[in-house]
Structure 1
Amino acid sequence: MSTLNSYHQIFGDAVRATGAQSNTEMMRLLPIMTISMALLACVPALSFAEPKQRLIVLTDIEADPDDSQSLVRLLLYANQIDIEGIVATTSTHQKSRVAPESIHAIIDAYGRVQPQLLKHEPGFPKPARLKAVVRSGRQLYGMLGVGDGKDSPGSDAIIKALEKNDTRPLWVAVWGGANTLAQALYRIGRDRTPEQAAHLVSKLRVYTISDQDDSGIWMRTRFPELFYIVSPGGYGNGTWTGMHTIEPGFDSTEVSNDWIATNIQQGHGPLGAIYPDVSFSVEGDTPSFLSLIPNGLNAPEHPDWGGWGGRYELYTPALETTDPKGFTGNVPLLQEPRAIWTNAVDTYTPMVNSDYFRSVRAHDKVFTGYRTTIMRWRKDFQNDFAARMDWTTKPYKEANHPPVVKLGHSDRLTIKSGENFVMSAAGSSDPDGDSLSYLWFQYPEAGSYREPIKLGYAENHHTVSGQAPVVTKTETAHFIVKVVDKGRPALTRYRRVIVTLVPSAP
């Protein structure tokens, strides 16, 4: 379809979305809608090529089977994330040993399916390249492993990655203890000039699964500018628990043992077979890299925008709000000295399928909390995991692949108070030829304007309209279009549209 015809289609949908009941009403709306569409037509759709995120993982693998589970999943995205290191570490649950051999065993299983994965998407690295970046930290617990003479291949690898001539930030996902990262920072602080150290620290992005040794609070105190995502305190305070939390009324099918056995472990080749049964929780470490996956929703540099790995806000949490009497694995709990990226609250009403008429309706229950910031996407990212596991054994034509979401306009719109605006994903497609479903919704917590903005027409149509509220200062409102194919498992991709609301001229 030509660009002009596309805009004609969007225009027609937009006019109908306003609720015009007659030709007279449509003619009255024509000047407004024509101007709106002309403005949109002048703005080219942004290209949607996201740079790969760089990642080093610190894992206390073998302290709990969930590290092995998370590593299996991570390797299925090894073509979309630049994995620059996988470091075996200690933690409060495994204080005096590291297990790099378990990392190698999982990479070996990946190696047996890597040629098959390449039939579905390019870029999956050879197993030898992944094995070459496996390292170990010190077999010491917490701050006992930080200081002069405490370097390790793992801490050296972090410093080398930071000094690499690469403008992209370096993410460090901490699944266990963080002392290998702390040692790298100790060396940087000791051996570099203040300017050099500040530059290297500015490249770091840290996401830890709670504090599993006593080095986390040291880093956050010693390096106040360090970008740090964490839910400090008791594990019950962890946003990451939304990965596996079971709440009454919330569909948790995709984290059940039966679902895991059917969709991941059994009949899915050597990589699925090495995925262990749940002992404590399902993949508690996985949220640390979920938001690095390019899916149209995730925005790693903006934790407050929300994504598959949760949503976080920058503030200094009070000690009494961090579950101080909960389980911490005997890691000392202290008052945070400065603002960190930590727990944020979403209010979420799931949409459920309708048997007749409009295909979806709002659930009769609303879910609120910090776990909700992950739970709300769980069905989507679990189905994505299952589809990629299918790729390890199925030919392209027998597997499902995610849809491609295309906006008919920029993903940044500026609208004056009271003006109408239109958003469309009518040009979206599916590589397998599957039928697509659409869902548009506002994400109030991600923007500065928190009041609901009603979207006209049907929220499950590819094109919707809205009217900007009256504002007295510039505000932002985030809208998400969720596009789901009808393959099995159903796969989801998104686009985020940020609308800047500006006051009308006096």
Structure 2
Amino acid sequence: MRTTILLFLLSLTFNMLSSQEIQKNRVIILTDIEADPDDTQSLVRLLLYSNEIDIEGIVATTSCWMTDKINPQSITKIIKAYEKVQPNLLKHRADYPKAEKLYALVKQGLPKYGMKGVGEGMDSEGSDWIIKTLEKDDERPLWISTWGGVNTLAQSLYKIEKTKSKKEAKRLISKLRVYTISDQDDSGIWIRNNFPDLFYIVTPGDDYGSATWTGINSYIKGIDNTTISNAWLAKHIQQGHGPLGAAYPDVSWGVEGDTPAFLSLIPNGLNNAEHPEWGGWGGRYKLYKPDFSSTRKGGSIVKIEPETRPIWTNAIDNYIRFIPKEYGRSVKKDTAVFKGYKETLWRWRDDFQHDFAARMDWCEMSFEEANHAPIPILSHPEQITVKAEETFTLDAFESTDPDGDSLSFLWFNYPEAGTYKKPINVNGVENAHMAHITAPKVDKEETAHFILKITDKGMPQLSAYKRVIVTIKPN
């Protein structure tokens, strides 16, 4: 009895600490499920984070790979698997939704391709649901996480423009945030051209090799790619993890190509969905009008057209890893520099894969048996102001772990996320709970982002973060 009570209190404390001051992101999923097994893979992962994200709808849609068919029954099938493990998930976090709530969120778009399904008389259950959700008394942004074609959203926008006043239409559209996995029908460019103020993240066109999101499943030379291997997926996700793991299909094209469309909605201390330029699990993006006219066509029926407005799209990171060291200081900087847009995403890949594996363990294991992410706690605000050439200290001494695991600390500057683009090194050691840093000399006010990554020594090893934004004022 004492053990049961202790575990309950640990779980309760974990839930309270993890949810402090965190506003969940709202999302509606548009999925061409069954066009590729990766939609099903991504849905399995999404449901394991349904306690962290407010899922407002899951809409079956078409795409360039499945132009005249939708498969809502395939969504329902995965929710049924979730229903069987949800009682055990509640042992780990108390806010996993009941399956009944999720069943009610499954909606249908039209079984029509792209702009053939947009216009007068083209309303669908899915397009009307987007509008209804936007009209709810909820001031939080509504994310549209698009895994296939986007014509269901295009029809919602068409109807809003036709039936609402200009003021009301502007208000509703201002609440929308869109992340599209490339262009998988011809309605994406129509949306961007006709709604120039709409918040839109995409690598335009159908050349997937040019897309940031492919960092989730690209084989990267010079690093260990184990966590996207078929053997790793079989061991940590598919087999021995209950009905939800068993529902995770083998890779056919690329593992979980749709998952980046919601990864940055997960509140982990690093992600900030409203600031794609800051970087996070879903990648980093800049707001500009890109020219992808020189990229090769990816082989779909999507017509590639020039962009007419700024969008959130590919950004470049210069990434230098910290790697384990066998003796002495436990980490050291790698000698290799990785540069590119996929780097903004795969740099976090092992972290989010381990987190996924741990949550899959939650489907079967007790709280005591499983691992849970550490809880980083700063001894100062997450935004501080210093003067140029001043030395300041960042500290996470009070950080804790819900399982009592030993913790490893790592502090590093993320130059691309701030306005000051030159790297700022930590003085002395980067892997203690306390980091001493000297602000650079600046001629104007600048910002610099410092990331704290805390990793436990449980199995699998789990990481959590804090982002400290330092404003540097000139002397």
Structure 1: 5+ residue stretches without partners: 1-46
Partners of 1:411 and 1:498 within 8 A in 2? yes
Q: Does 1:50 align with 2:22?
A: yes
Partners of 1:193 and 1:406 in 2: how far apart?
46
Partners of 1:235 and 1:328 within 8 A in 2? no
Where 1:160 maps in the other structure, the secondary structure is: helix
Where 1:406 maps in the other structure, the secondary structure is: coil
1:482 aligned to which of 450, 453, 457: 453
1:439-450 map, 5 Å: 439-450=410-421
- TM-score, normalised to structure 1, is 0.89
2:200 aligned to which of 213, 228, 237: 228
Residue 154 of structure 1 is matched in structure 2 by: 126
Partners of 1:376 and 1:48 in 2: how far apart?
27
Where 2:28 maps in the other structure, the secondary structure is: strand
Q: Does 1:300 align with 2:273?
A: yes
Partners of 2:252 and 2:441 in 1: how far apart?
53
1:287 aligned to which of 260, 278, 290: 260
1:273 aligned to which of 235, 246, 249: 246
Residue 230 of structure 2 is matched in structure 1 by: 257
Q: Does 1:317 align with 2:317?
A: no
Identity across matched positions, percent: 59
2:362 aligned to which of 388, 391, 400: 391
Q: Does 1:426 align with 2:412?
A: no
Where 2:70 maps in the other structure, the secondary structure is: coil
| Deviation by residue 1:110-137 (Cα, 9 ceiling, x = unmatched) | 0000000000011101101000010000
CA RMSD of aligned residues (A): 0.9
Partners of 2:222 and 2:21 in 1: how far apart?
38
Residue 102 of structure 1 is matched in structure 2 by: 74
Q: Which amino acid aligns with 2:410?
A: L
Where 1:397 maps in the other structure, the secondary structure is: coil
Partners of 1:453 and 1:348 in 2: how far apart?
14
Where 1:320 maps in the other structure, the secondary structure is: coil
Partners of 2:201 and 2:312 within 8 A in 1? yes
- Return the offset for 1:328: 4.8
Partners of 2:293 and 2:154 in 1: how far apart?
26
Residue 104 of structure 2 is matched in structure 1 by: 132
Partners of 1:417 and 1:239 in 2: how far apart?
34
Q: Does 1:203 align with 2:143?
A: no
Partners of 1:250 and 1:445 in 2: how far apart?
22
Partners of 1:319 and 1:70 in 2: how far apart?
27
Q: Does 1:343 align with 2:314?
A: yes
Q: Does 1:371 align with 2:323?
A: no
Q: Does 1:246 align with 2:219?
A: yes
- Return the offset for 1:326: 3.0
Partners of 2:189 and 2:443 in 1: how far apart?
41
- Return the offset for 1:335: 0.5
Partners of 2:412 and 2:425 within 8 A in 1? no
Partners of 1:305 and 1:263 in 2: how far apart?
30
- Return the offset for 1:468: 1.0
Partners of 1:484 and 1:491 within 8 A in 2? yes
1:237 aligned to which of 210, 215, 228: 210
Partners of 1:236 and 1:326 within 8 A in 2? no
Q: Which amino acid aligns with 1:447?
A: G
Partners of 2:334 and 2:458 in 1: how far apart?
23
Residue 462 of structure 1 is matched in structure 2 by: 433
- Return the offset for 1:48: 4.9
2:153 aligned to which of 168, 181, 203: 181
Partners of 1:451 and 1:389 in 2: how far apart?
39
- Return the offset for 1:452: 1.6
Where 1:319 maps in the other structure, the secondary structure is: coil
Where 1:113 maps in the other structure, the secondary structure is: helix
Which moved further from structure 2: 365-374 or 376-385?
365-374
Q: Does 1:400 align with 2:371?
A: yes
Which moved further from structure 2: 179-188 or 448-457?
448-457
| Deviation by residue 1:133-192 (Cα, 9 ceiling, x = unmatched) | 100000000000000000000000000011111010000000000000000000001111
Partners of 1:411 and 1:98 in 2: how far apart?
45
Q: Does 1:75 align with 2:52?
A: no
Q: Which amino acid aligns with 1:135?
A: K
Partners of 1:320 and 1:391 in 2: how far apart?
46
Where 2:409 maps in the other structure, the secondary structure is: strand
Where 2:368 maps in the other structure, the secondary structure is: helix
Q: Does 1:356 align with 2:311?
A: no
Q: Does 1:326 align with 2:297?
A: yes
- Return the offset for 1:351: 1.4
Partners of 2:106 and 2:189 in 1: how far apart?
26
- Return the offset for 1:457: 2.3
Partners of 2:335 and 2:382 in 1: how far apart?
31
Q: Does 1:92 align with 2:64?
A: yes
How many residues are matched? 456
C-alpha distance 145-75 of structure 1, shift in aligned 2 (>3 A): same
| Deviation by residue 1:401-453 (Cα, 9 ceiling, x = unmatched) | 00000001011110111111110111100000000000000000000001121
Partners of 1:346 and 1:373 within 8 A in 2? yes
Partners of 2:130 and 2:153 within 8 A in 1? yes
- Return the offset for 1:471: 0.8
Partners of 2:67 and 2:38 in 1: how far apart?
17
Q: Which amino acid aligns with 1:244?
A: N
Residue 122 of structure 1 is matched in structure 2 by: 94
Partners of 1:153 and 1:263 in 2: how far apart?
37
Where 1:396 maps in the other structure, the secondary structure is: coil
Which moved further from structure 2: 354-363 or 211-220?
354-363
Where 1:368 maps in the other structure, the secondary structure is: strand
Structure 2: 5+ residue stretches without partners: 1-18
Where 2:45 maps in the other structure, the secondary structure is: helix
Q: Would you identify which runs of 4 or more consecutive aligned residues in structure 1 move more than 4 Å?
A: none
| Deviation by residue 1:462-485 (Cα, 9 ceiling, x = unmatched) | 101111111111000000000000
1:13-28 map, 5 Å: none
